[in-house]
């Protein structure tokens, strides 16, 4: 659209006049203390939301990571199945902040909501994991693993992973390790048996976009996708697709970047399943359409192995096309197949898997014949 000189003047006048507008109606003025207490309430709810979403990711991804260990022989880890934190895991208040009208810091909110202190505390337990089977509960304080005391205080969250790794590294298959806990004023010990998982952590990415990412080291699922994939089987499909990219080594060495490096890098470097070409670096890190189809294909096998329901999974692509009709067919230059092709391919792959299940054959994807 081109504006004439007169048009530009009108736009400027409209802008100026709107700057002078004042409200006509008087809405009720709440007492500052009320707003403050509501802010703290929302802060608490936001913390619970974040924890619940990460719990959901852990719960849904666990069976997939467990069922695919034959495909990640060099990248496995023993996992216990609990998340932990202490008060230092959350951001402190800004030292410069002297305004008492501001709500408490995230750390204060976490202390209030989860009763956190200096000692590491169990925040969530994955159903079916060793921690779950051993009866570990949310809120348990972690004192020792084996003979090793677990760290406390400011650096606990940094030190704990290495201690856990060392303690679990020497365990033989099927061996248990004793965990010492503090619960309701009592010290308890429980035998813990780790399970072996592919070592690709699945994390939540605070973004409203409906998308998911793989970066060779981990998988990230956006808040937008978590809201879109309300069905756990659909969420498992999305995670399995990204996991497949990692398992199949699809991410070029030049594009590898850890998700811990920051969301911006992640968005720039990784390719999502739904944003063809949206985040690429000079076209150098595109997954090919063939890789996308291969990841869709392997994902279904991973779902079947992990016991997820294949029925209706291809509907995911139809649902996506409702709001994104431009993705029904693959656009020129797109890195991803269109949703129509993905639906049809997925239906065929589901039929193939069902046949193998009926024949009691191993759930191994077909390889390309030379
Ligand atoms: Zn993909």
Query: How far is ligand 1, taken at its centre, from the CA of residue 362, in Å?
Result: 25
CATH of domain 76-93+105-197: 2.30.42.10
Paired strand residues for 84: 122
Pairing of strands 202-205, 76-79: unpaired
Query: How far is ligand 1, taken at its centre, from the CA of residue 36, in Å?
Result: 43
Q: Within 10 A of 358 (CB to CB), how many other CB atoms are there?
A: 8
Query: How far is ligand 1, taken at its centre, from the CA of residue 280, in Å?
Result: 13
Q: Note the pLDDT of residue 5.
A: 56
Query: How far is ligand 1, taken at its centre, from the CA of residue 212, in Å?
Result: 8
Query: How far is ligand 1, taken at its centre, from the CA of residue 297, in Å?
Result: 11
Query: How far is ligand 1, taken at its centre, from the CA of residue 257, in Å?
Result: 16
Q: Within 10 A of 108 (CB to CB), how many other CB atoms are there?
A: 17
Query: How far is ligand 1, taken at its centre, from the CA of residue 146, in Å?
Result: 41
Query: How far is ligand 1, taken at its centre, from the CA of residue 225, in Å?
Result: 14
Query: How far is ligand 1, taken at its centre, from the CA of residue 74, in Å?
Result: 22
- Name the packing angle between helices 315-323 and 232-247 (round to 10°): 100
Q: What is the pLDDT along the chain (370 residues), one digit of tens a residue?
A: 455 555 555 555 555 555 679 999 999 999 999 999 999 999 999 999 999 999 999 999 999 999 999 999 999 999 999 999 999 998 887 655 555 566 678 899 999 999 999 999 999 999 999 999 999 999 999 999 999 999 999 999 999 999 999 999 888 888 999 999 999 999 999 999 999 999 999 999 999 989 999 988 999 999 999 999 999 999 999 999 999 999 999 877 656 654 433 333 333 333 344 333 333 333 333 457 888 899 999 999 999 999 999 999 999 999 989 988 888 887 766 777 889 999 999 999 999 999 999 999 999 999 988 7
**Whole-angstrom distance, CA of residue 303 vs CA of residue 231:** 14
Q: Tell me if 310 sits within 8 A of 300, measured CB to CB.
A: yes
Query: How far is ligand 1, taken at its centre, from the CA of residue 261, in Å?
Result: 20
The residue ranges of every structural domain in the chain are 76-93+105-197, 200-358
Query: How far is ligand 1, taken at its centre, from the CA of residue 214, in Å?
Result: 8
Residues 6+ apart with CB under 8 A from 142: 84, 119, 120, 121, 122, 150, 179, 180, 181
Query: How far is ligand 1, taken at its centre, from the CA of residue 195, in Å?
Result: 27
**Whole-angstrom distance, CA of residue 282 vs CA of residue 293:** 23
Query: How far is ligand 1, taken at its centre, from the CA of residue 270, in Å?
Result: 10
């Amino acid at each position: 659209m081109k504006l004439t000189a007169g048009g530009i003047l009108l736009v400027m006048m409209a802008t100026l006049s709107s700057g002078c507008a004042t409200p006509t109606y008087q809405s009720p003025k709440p007492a500052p203390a009320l707003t403050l207490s509501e802010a703290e309430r929302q802060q608490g709810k936001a913390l619970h939301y974040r924890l619940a979403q990460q719990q959901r990711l852990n719960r849904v991804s666990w069976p997939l990571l467990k069922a695919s260990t034959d495909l990640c022989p060099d990248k496995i880890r023993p996992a216990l199945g609990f998340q932990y934190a202490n008060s230092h895991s959350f951001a402190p208040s800004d030292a410069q902040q002297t305004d008492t009208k501001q709500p408490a810091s995230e750390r204060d909110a976490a202390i209030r909501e989860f009763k956190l202190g200096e000692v590491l505390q169990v925040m969530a337990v994955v159903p079916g994991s060793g921690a779950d089977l051993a009866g570990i509960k949310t809120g348990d304080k972690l004192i020792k693993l084996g003979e090793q005391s677990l760290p406390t205080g400011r650096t606990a969250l940094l030190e704990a992973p290495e201690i856990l790794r060392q303690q679990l590294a020497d365990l033989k298959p099927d061996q248990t390790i004793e965990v010492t806990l503090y619960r309701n004023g009592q010290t308890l010990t429980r035998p813990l048996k780790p399970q072996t998982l592919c070592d690709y952590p699945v994390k939540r990415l605070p973004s409203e976009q409906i998308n998911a990412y793989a970066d060779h080291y981990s998988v990230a699922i956006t808040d937008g996708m978590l809201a879109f994939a309300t069905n756990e089987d659909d969420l498992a499909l999305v995670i399995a697709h990204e996991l497949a990219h990692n398992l199949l080594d699809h991410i070029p060495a030049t594009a590898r970047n850890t998700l811990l490096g920051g969301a911006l890098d992640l968005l720039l470097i990784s390719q999502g399943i739904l944003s063809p070409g949206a985040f690429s670096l000079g076209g150098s890190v595109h997954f090919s359409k063939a890789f996308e189809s291969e990841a869709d294909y392997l994902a279904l096998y991973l779902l079947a192995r992990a016991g997820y329901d294949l029925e209706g999974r291809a509907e995911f692509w139809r649902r996506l096309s409702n709001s994104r009709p431009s993705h029904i067919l693959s656009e020129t230059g797109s890195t991803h197949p269109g949703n129509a092709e993905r639906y049809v391919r997925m239906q065929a792959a589901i039929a193939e898997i069902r046949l193998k299940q009926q024949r009691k054959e191993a759930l191994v994807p077909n390889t390309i014949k030379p």
